[in-house]
Chain A
Amino acid sequence: MTAKVKVTNLVKTFGNNEVLKGINLEVQNNEVVVVIGPSGSGKSTLLRTLNKLEAPTSGDIIIDGMNIADPKTDINKVRENIGMVFQHFNLFNNLSVSENIMLAPVELKKEDKQAAAEHAKRLLKTVGLESKFDATVQSLSGGQQQRVAIARALAMDPDVMLFDEPTSALDPEMVGDVLAVMKNLAKQGMTMIVVTHEMGFAKEVADRVVFVDDGNIQEQGTPDEMFNHPKNPRLQDFLDKVLNV
């Protein structure tokens, strides 16, 4: 079985700052990988290189057999199969909820409006927001916006979903709704790579937890191995800080 995502020797520098120092990572089909690590460790940058929002400095990133580090690869085609959810939702402020969801399918898959609207309604139902079909983005709460953002990413029927700290900008009472949607998605077998500080989510949902610090993967394993039997002193230190507040 070939990996869905295969990262080899990935290096990313910003000026003189080497943020990723040679990452190797494989993600299998239907696997849920949760990436944890302290701020500034490079975990968000890692996620953003996976759909080339950040171009890798060197190394290879192969997704579904296509190397997106290769300039000849049509990155737009690859992105159609990778959904991404951002910390700050980034819903299109000039469009309504339904238009946000329908934009990409209509523009890129040439879906007709009727079918796209039906699809959008179904997606809104799965995130519990069917009543917000015609709402403006500005009228939604943060948690609602994030759930619409997930629906928008799902509208292209991606086979990998990237989550970049999806609950970090939310009020605490909104976090549960968003995590519930993500758990549901994991249950349906979506391949997911999630950067998060929600250790509870990692314990419960992750097939594998990856600990990134100082631009490298320091340790990875099942939630049980990582949370109950951490070997790397940095991971022990990190868990100590985040779990014992």
Chain B
Amino acid sequence: MKRKFASLFAGFVMLAAMVFALSAGITPAKAETTYQIGTDVTFPPFEFANKHDKYVGIDIELLKAIAKDQGFKVNIKPTSFNGAVQAVQSGQLDGMIAGMSITKEREATFDFSKPYFTSGVVMAVTPNSKTTSLKDLRGKKVAVKTGTSGADYAKSIQKKYGFHIVTFDESNDMYQDVITGNSAACFEDSPVMRYAVRQGTKLKIVTKPVENGPYGFAVKKGHNQKLLRMFNKGLADMKANGEYARITRKYLGAKGSSDTSSDRTFWGLIKQNRSALLGGFEETVWLTIVAIFFATVFGVIVGLLGVVPNKFFNGLSTTLIYIFRGLPLLVLALFIYTGIPSLTNQKIPAFVAGTITLMFNEGAYIAAFVKGGINAVNIGQMEAARSLGLPFGKAMRRVILPQGIRIMIPSFINQFIITLKDTSILSIIGILELTQTGKIIIARNLEGFKVWTIIAVIYLVVITLLTWLSNWVQRRVRL
């Protein structure tokens, strides 16, 4: 009997191996010269997705031009500013270009290129606001975006002017907080703020740019020095041949590209972003299916380990459920995506990290109700089966599980729906699913309310379909 549990355990180990093998499959060995570069999702005009869902902006075009000049390839990953910082530090990414100011603090953990852009922080308020200078901020709230030089600047003068700081992850959320009046003002790099105003954001700039650290391309300290040298050489070339001037003029010039003219009705927004939304939808569905599969396998195995007559496996099951049900999904996702690589020096693609996250988290819930479902079957059923001479495994399979599964089915359906919704949390590690797609679209057109409405409706439609499918399956297996 012991051997059976051992093979069950071996199965679990194999499953883990499969997940990692899958990760290897998704990232085929790339040529040496392709670098993974992180950037922000929302930092126009330095990086943003245009209406064709292509990433553009000063950072993107400059990096691509330099790569071409120096003969290396880049794969640009819009995670988020914070996400990119962590991913570079953990080795998930080789470098980042995200309007990143060169500061003393950052130089402790990053090596920076020569500065490629000099910016300055400005303060923006609503058009008819009475707040027009830093002095007016006393006792009020100021919105900033995590990790930006605007945030650093706000912190440095906070004591002097006596205001409170509210932090956001996305530029649009920061702007909205000022527009709705929650915060009195926001601090942001001047070109970014100017671009947002030109895009129709109902804010005005009321201060002169305050010089802050110039922008630099960053790699992890002591790593990827060759990439850094190539960037510097390429940057010099771009400045010499006029390409640098062309790119910056394109985005900062008086008649830069603007999106305000396009159709801003619901239908118009759907049409413009059709391919992006479809892509996000597909990624969400795909992620849900893969996650449900692995979470079910993991959950059923861990749940069964909880009911076999073996103290060690019971303890293992309880511990796994305790840990993975106890961790917030967001923390688990960041831990797996950025924490594990820094321990093992092994990159994990975001999709695989996301799948593993969901497998553990949703799987823990599944394990808990699998255990509960089995325990809910009257103990007399097991005793009767065993008294006939059926071994534990056979009794389980032929008598207990068929009854337990019927008890578990409503919980399974519930968990599948929760899994679908939980995929949205994985936008934090940059997976381009529906929620992340929404963030990116909003970063470009700043139509938060309408785009989130569209995204919400898409989720509801998928969940309705999933519920129908589940109910159909439930009817088929009923006695």
Contacts and interface: CB of A to CB of B under 8 A. Distances in A.
B380 interface: yes
Contacts of A78: 389
Contacts of A94: 399, 402-403, 406, 479
B402 A53 contact: no
A206 interface: no
A88 interface: yes
Contacts of A153: 387-388
Contacts of A91: 384
A90 B389 contact: no
A133 to B, nearest CB: 18
A86 B406 CA distance: 25
15 contacts: A76-B390, A76-B391, A77-B389, A79-B389, A80-B389, A83-B387, A86-B380, A86-B384, A92-B384, A94-B406, A104-B389, A107-B398, A108-B389, A152-B384, A153-B387
Interface string B390-434: 110010001100110010000000000000000000000000000
A152 B386 CA distance: 13
B136 interface: no
Contacts of B378: 90
B386 A53 contact: yes
Interface in B46-79: none
Given A93-B403, A94-B403, A103 B388 contact: yes
A44 interface: no
Contacts of B383: 53, 86, 90
B381 A84 contact: no
A17 B479 CA distance: 43
B308 to A, nearest CB: 16
Given A104-B390, A152-B384, 4 more contacts: A83-B387, A92-B385, A94-B399, A94-B403
Interface in A20-73: 51, 53
Contact of A107 (B387, B390, B402): B390
A152 B380 contact: no
Given A103-B398, A107-B398, A92 B386 contact: no
Interface string A187-221: 00000000000000000000000000000000000
B276 to A, nearest CB: 49
A152 B401 CA distance: 20
Interface residues of B, number: 19
A141 to B, nearest CB: 18
A121 B39 CA distance: 74
Interface string B358-394: 0000000000000000000010110111111111001
Nearest to B391: A76
A156 interface: yes
B380 A76 contact: no
A88 B380 contact: yes
A78 B389 CA distance: 7
A104 B385 CA distance: 8
A83 B384 CA distance: 10
Contacts of A95: 399
A92 B387 contact: no
B381 A92 contact: yes
B390 A108 contact: yes
B381 A79 contact: no
Interface centre among B383, B384, B402 (most CB of A within 10 A): B384
Interface of B: 378, 380-381, 383-391, 394, 398-399, 402-403, 406, 479
A124 interface: no
Contacts of A76: 389-391
Contacts of B380: 86, 88, 90
Contact of B381 (A93, A104, A107): A93
Contacts of A90: 378, 380-381, 383-384
Contact of A79 (B388, B398, B399, B403): B388
Interface-central residue, A77, A92, A95, by most chain B CB under 10 Å: A92
B386 A79 contact: yes
Contacts of A108: 388-390
A242 B388 CA distance: 33
Q: With a 10 A CB-CB cut-off, give which of B388, B394, B398 has the most chain A CB atoms.
A: B388
A90 B406 CA distance: 18
A82 interface: yes
A168 to B, nearest CB: 14
B249 to A, nearest CB: 75
A140 to B, nearest CB: 15
A108 B385 CA distance: 12
Contacts of B403: 93-94
A88 B380 CA distance: 8
B390 A84 contact: no
B399 A92 contact: yes
- Top-3 shortest CB links A-B: A80-B389, A90-B384, A90-B380
Interface in A152-189: 152-153, 156
Contact of A156 (B384, B385, B388, B479): B388
B193 to A, nearest CB: 67
Contacts of B385: 92, 103
Nearest to B383: A53
B350 to A, nearest CB: 43
Nearest to A155: B388
A92 B389 CA distance: 15
Contacts of B399: 92, 94-95, 103
A156 B387 CA distance: 11
Nearest to A53: B383
B402 A79 contact: no
A91 B383 CA distance: 10
A154 to B, nearest CB: 11
